[in-house]
Amino acid sequence: MGQPMYLSLLAITVCLITLLATCPTLAVGWPIDSSFYDEIKRVVYGGGENIDDSVAATESSPPPPLSLPSSSQNINRPVEVEGWPRSPIPRLGQVSGVAINTVGQPVIFHRGSRVWDENSFNETFHYQHIEEGPILTNAIVTLSPKTGEVLSSWGAGFFYMPHGITIDHQGNVWVTDVAMHQVFKFSPGAPRASLTFGKRFENGKGYRTLCQPTSVAIASTGDIFIADGYCNSRVLKFTSRGELLRVFPHANEFLSLQVPHSLALLEKHDLICIADREDMRVVCRGAELSTENKEQAPLTIQQPDLGRVYAITNHGDLIYAVNGPTSPLIPVRGFTINPMTENIVDHWTLSKNTAINVPHDIAISKDGSSLYVASISPNRIVKYTMTPVTPLKSD
């Protein structure tokens, strides 16, 4: 057999192996149109000489999103700002939460030297290291959106195992601590919490106790939503003064949650969206903020490549999500979701040069121009700017 023949057979073999390695990830859940299959046909039947590095490169890094022609409008894709923060954040631990304050600065909630591991809690979800005392570093840190330098910090000597952080329209800071089983509201400048939910280090199923609460969302009406959490798997809704209004799911509702880990409110549609982490989906149900009671079935975004959804946030009608470790076939990355059509409309890379193994929270600026992802492995905060792209065709 002549050498050119041998080479082209080799090229075709490499091509097939590459496709096989890539296909399991491609086949699950990407809205793919016929041009993609035409591309496969071209590559498989049209000869190996057309293979280029861009196909082979998808083996090692998560496959890049397919941007297909579509008649719909451009959407924005988060693109990592490299070299941000410019210098390391001192004493930074696992960054469990990120929110954006009323002047557009990212505020992170981190664990200092404390780490959540398999010895942190026992089978009944009780924190096992109370005697070590609270975290002595300032757990809440405000950063410059431009440079990432620390502008201010507070919260030393109070928290045991930070989790979620939310900043409402008035600048109140809402945080959850999974060790204390509590949620706190801190008004701007106030020396201590102005509202507390749950009993310190006591967990339970009643309505005065929480169990490892994960996240909070605040409506413009002042209503409070608490995702409660790792063990109760419910969402509680309170008035701004802390009176219980609702428990989701309702007693007779055909909806179950497994670790609601993050919340996003789409007030325009009266929806509360929940990162239903262990069910590997995002569920949006009525937030029941408006008085006109239009009962509607929950919207569900669940596709095989989504995996465990760790965090969600929204800007307008779009939800930005990150998944966490699920299976070797499911890359950890970012997703853009249109909840109204229940579709994933885009995928994006968390970091080009550092593996973000466990992204844990996500926040977007009010104007939608900047997005941040908090990571607990490695301990990092990553900034993204939004860049217009043509979305995937979704049908």
Q: Is 114 labelled as part of a ligand binding site? A: no
Binding of ligand NAG at residue 246 (CB under 6 A)? Answer: no
Question: How is the beta sheet containing 281-286 ordered, strand by strand?
Answer: 260-266, 271-276, 281-286, 299-301
Q: Give the shortest CB-245-to-ligand NAG separation in angstroms.
A: 31
Q: Is 246 labelled as part of a ligand binding site? A: no
126 vs 199 by CB, closer to ligand NAG: 126
Q: Give the shortest CB-124-to-ligand NAG separation in angstroms.
A: 4
Q: Which CB contacts under 8 angstroms, 24+ apart, belong to 205-213? A: 205/232, 207/236, 207/244, 207/247, 209/181, 210/181, 210/182, 210/183, 210/236, 211/125, 211/181, 212/121, 212/125, 212/163, 212/178, 212/181, 213/163, 213/164, 213/176, 213/178, 213/181, 213/182, 213/183
Name the segment binding ligand NAG (CB under 6 A); options: 116-124, 175-183, 202-210, 226-234.
Answer: 116-124
Binding of ligand NAG at residue 124 (CB under 6 A)? Answer: yes
Phi, psi of 157, deg, nearest 5: 70, 25
Give the total of residues touching ligand NAG (CB under 6 A): 4
Q: Is 247 labelled as part of a ligand binding site? A: no
Binding of ligand NAG at residue 252 (CB under 6 A)? Answer: no
Q: Is 361 labelled as part of a ligand binding site? A: yes
Q: Give the shortest CB-122-to-ligand NAG separation in angstroms.
A: 4
Please pick, from the candidates 34, 122, 327, 353, the single residue that binds ligand NAG as defined by CB under 6 A.
122
Binding of ligand NAG at residue 123 (CB under 6 A)? Answer: yes
Q: Give the shortest CB-260-to-ligand NAG separation in angstroms.
A: 23
Please pick, from the candidates 32, 51, 126, 278, the single residue that binds ligand NAG as defined by CB under 6 A.
126
Tell me the residue nearest to ligand NAG as measured from the CB.
Answer: 126
Q: Is 163 labelled as part of a ligand binding site? A: yes
Q: Give the shortest CB-234-to-ligand NAG separation in angstroms.
A: 22
Q: Is 107 labelled as part of a ligand binding site? A: no
Q: Which residue ranges make up the site for ligand NAG (CB under 6 A)?
A: 122-124, 126
